[in-house]
Chains A and B, each alone.
Chain A
């Protein structure tokens, strides 16, 4: 029995699990997150996986990672650098050591550091032996051999046993954080309900890892992370993509319009299609179309027929949808297009995140084709903004593009479960049967919204389509002045939505020296950096935008009155140029990153400090 070692309290810790894709890193990352959440921590996760399903074994290209940031304070990002790194082979150490803090605990499966694996990972010498890791708490654990030993009497072949290596590593991590393994054992019992042997062997290896860590005293003290100050309520862990799917489902239930999703699988948006496909029990109709064009066109058809009709995609898919988006604009039908952005152009970086589809969302159509553009900004608020996208689209009879991204789509966060009774009402302008005043393009004089007349309804037969329509009556029209009128009406209708969205909030003083502006999935990192500087007494404020087209009505007021404005985004400056076009009396600086990676808090802090000092 090893001696009891001391506990150390920590506010936040970042753990990264890395291995060959197929080593089960996403799984143990998720299991660790769930255990942390149940222990009352706040958390944020980020999976980092290659585009290839099984890239060559033991190569850097095949490394799959999962990072989780847990804390006893509110957690807004998945963390810059990790405190604990688990590397299941040399390649994953090679790929991830640069993301570990100096002094971090680095757990490796020492059995995998063979000459062949070292050379595949491009190591000239063995880092476990050459002293290059002396500034870390290196834990070279014989994970493979000890897993095999733990199961030596179970009559299994090594291939099967080696699939449980990840659980050995997880057991070690549970020891470091003094965490109960109960939730993980419960997971085995559910997952392998029909294979009792699998429950037993996974538990055995998990416990073996835990015992090993304790016996080998792999850390000087175990780490204790207390409960985070969370708002009271019921919680669950949720990824942005699942939250997006659920937000759409919630809007369908609230509005009474059945949900239709016409989508084509594409990384990193596919989980939305998968999640809605699971919900046949709620009557949702998910349709896996033959391509993105069919995805959006079936969505338009379903909207014409009266569904809350949505499609989910990523940048290249949105490109294919451009022409049909114009059709939705001119037919003034509500559709929601979710774009989970990834690195571009073209196929680009399919599994990496970026914010470079903003121009495409705003302007990527022929003709004058305005529509709503909003952006979710955290995994959890994907629920709220998907709901909002559906509400705005239906109530204003217009397409709405919801911009998410790979980071928040695949990242997870704790989500305070709302009650459906508390969600805002959704009132689509459905035309009653036999309405004597019905005209296809007759508008509500205040909102300029036309009615939604559903096929099957008595007394409302009408024709719409992609040819320019005569104002009010909807007949085909090539009249020059009518085209000018209809173009203006379509624009004003979207602009008037500014009356229905919240004012832009600012975190900090209205006259702070530096106003930091951001939008979409960067909120956590940018706000964490701003808050840290505010705590040091710096004159800095933050305006994070979720509503992009139209902008909140007070946007000019928010942007005015600062010595400096800096707009931070993961592209080459698309939002800043959009703002410059609208507020050309203001001078705006920009801070951009285009590496397929999220902002780190430290690089943002450095940037803001420099701007404040200049």
Chain B
């Protein structure tokens, strides 16, 4: 049987998901906009309000479940993805959302992260990437850029950072999106697409930590630069960017390059058209890896490719076994094989 999540009979609103708890993130923290986006997207997705579950690990990101009125589980450091897998496996009729951070999912919980992605478990992961450990007050994370000066790297980090998109695609990921924390509209759209995707969706939010890593993403997300420094992808649309939409991405032999419309005879026909549904991750990987100053940073849904989910495959196996096996209950099992009467 195809897994389905029961829809709400009544039209829900943002208020249905508002929690009575005080939100204790710092004023100006990027996480506030993630909360706003989720509260507005849940009624739009349309499931019964009892069918949403928010699961988290540890860190600033992971306080999220307390701030939204759904079933919620605040786990332990790094284990949000493993806990959420158990929730979804147990009851696939739930819409499972994971709030996690660059420390939670890419350092201590790296193992669970790559495996939940690889298995295509049908959950939605929102990765709050602020490139720093906030709750422990400012140590570098696995996404801090090489050379970052932090409390535990006073002379600069000497580690190569993870690019979350590259990690997701390398882990056989079927859905990866990236959004800046100051574009709630895009975030809402992306969350909607993540909810509709059958399988593991990962949304990386470029999240600003105002206290310990302020403006870490400013070169990408700043109001003055964002048009030129972000490529907002839409499936089926050419990859154009810039205030005048006059710059684009072209595939030149095996590499991407930035070109300008009207220059050297370049027309829109030369510009790559985004195919988010492509099975082949080649272009998706190149898009995920684009970085300043050579390229704009890709935003929106970079990859959304259909594949069977772990959950559906498990339910299918159960259905098949139940149809074919002669063992229908415990008494059958206990009396199966070699038994004898004394």
Which A residues are closer than 8 A to B by beta carbons? 34, 37-38, 40, 183, 227, 230-237, 246, 249-250, 253, 258, 260, 262, 279-283, 285, 287, 289-291, 293-294, 297-307, 309, 323-324, 327, 331, 417-420, 454-467, 475-476
Contacts and interface: CB of A to CB of B under 8 A. Distances in A.
Contact of B71 (A283, A302, A461): A461
Interface stretch (B142-150, B205-213, B314-322): B314-322
Contacts of A457: 50
Given A456-B50, A461-B71, A467-B74, A305 B86 contact: yes
A465 B333 contact: no
A307 B86 CA distance: 9
A297 B75 contact: yes
Given A327-B76, A455-B94, A463-B72, A301 B21 contact: no
B66 A236 contact: no
A306 B115 CA distance: 23
Contact of A297 (B21, B70, B79): B79
Which 10 pairs, one residue from A and one from B, show the smallest C-beta to C-beta distance?
Answer: A301-B86, A465-B74, A281-B325, A298-B86, A463-B72, A297-B82, A280-B321, A305-B90, A302-B90, A455-B71
A255 B83 CA distance: 23
A546 to B, nearest CB: 21
Contacts of B330: 246, 249-250, 253, 282, 420
Contacts of A294: 79, 82, 85, 111-112, 115
Contacts of B4: none
Contact of A302 (B66, B87, B112, B325): B87
Interface centre among B54, B94, B330, B340 (most CB of A within 10 A): B330
Contacts of B53: 305, 455
10 contacts: A234-B335, A235-B339, A253-B329, A280-B318, A301-B82, A309-B86, A418-B334, A454-B91, A456-B71, A462-B71
B224 to A, nearest CB: 39
B51, B53, B65, B91 interface centre (most CB from chain A within 10 Å): B91
A97 B115 CA distance: 48
A79 B208 CA distance: 68
Contact of A461 (B50, B56, B76, B79): B50
Contacts of B317: 280
A550 to B, nearest CB: 26
Given A417-B335, A455-B53, A459-B50, 17 more contacts: A40-B342, A233-B341, A234-B342, A235-B342, A236-B338, A249-B333, A250-B334, A281-B324, A282-B327, A290-B115, A293-B82, A297-B82, A301-B55, A302-B87, A303-B90, A456-B51, A464-B74
Nearest to B21: A475
B331 interface: yes
Contacts of A461: 49-50, 69-72
Given A282-B327, A417-B335, A466 B341 contact: no
Interface in B277-322: 314, 317-318, 320-322
Contact of B334 (A38, A309, A417): A417
Name, among A280, A297, A307, the residue most crowded by chain B CB atoms within 10 Å (CB to CB): A297
A474 to B, nearest CB: 10
Interface string B37-66: 000000000001111011110100000011
B106 to A, nearest CB: 15
Contact of B111 (A291, A300, A302, A418): A291
B90 A307 contact: yes
A297 B69 CA distance: 23
A299 to B, nearest CB: 6
B125 interface: no
Contacts, number: 204
A38 B84 CA distance: 47
Nearest to A455: B71
Contacts of B49: 461
B318 A285 contact: yes
Given A302-B87, A305-B91, A420 B50 contact: no
B175 interface: no
B73 interface: yes
A467 B65 CA distance: 12
B94 A279 contact: no
B265 interface: no
Contacts of A285: 89-90, 314, 318
B334 A297 contact: no
Q: Indicate the member of A249, A279, A301, A323 with the most B CB atoms within 10 Å.
A: A301
A466 B74 contact: yes
Contacts of A249: 330, 333
Contact of B86 (A246, A262, A476): A262
B339 A281 contact: no
A237 B66 CA distance: 51
A305 B342 CA distance: 43
Given A297-B86, A309-B90, A456-B50, A465 B79 contact: no
Given A282-B330, A298-B86, A456-B50, A183 B94 contact: no
B58 to A, nearest CB: 8
Residue with the greatest number of chain B CB neighbours at <10 A, chosen from A249, A419, A463, A464: A463
B237 interface: no
Contact of B339 (A302, A304, A417, A465): A417
Contacts of A331: 73
A305 to B, nearest CB: 4
Contacts of B73: 301, 304, 331, 463-465
Interface string B242-275: 0000000000000000000000000000000000
A311 to B, nearest CB: 10
Given A283-B318, A287-B85, A324-B79, A232 B71 contact: no
B154 interface: no
B206 to A, nearest CB: 26
B196 interface: no
B334 A298 contact: no
A250 B54 CA distance: 31
Nearest to A42: B342
A37 B340 CA distance: 9
B156 interface: no
A260 B75 contact: no
B75 to A, nearest CB: 6
Nearest to B80: A297
Contacts of B79: 293-294, 297, 324
A305 B70 CA distance: 13
A305 B94 contact: yes
B86 A232 contact: no
Contacts of A420: 329-331, 334
A464 B112 CA distance: 21
Contact of B340 (A234, A287, A466, A475): A234
B329 A246 contact: no
B90 A260 contact: yes
B11 interface: no
Contact of A233 (B74, B111, B342): B342
Nearest to A323: B76
A203 B65 CA distance: 65
Given A297-B82, A298-B85, A234 B341 contact: yes
Contacts of A282: 327, 329-330, 333
A279 B329 CA distance: 10
Contact of B112 (A34, A290, A323, A465): A290
B27 interface: no
A465 B91 CA distance: 19
Contacts of A291: 111
Contacts of B70: 461
A287 B89 contact: yes
Residue with the highest number of chain B CB atoms closer than 10 Å, among A230, A304, A305, A419: A305
B328 interface: yes
Contact of B322 (A283, A301, A306, A464): A283
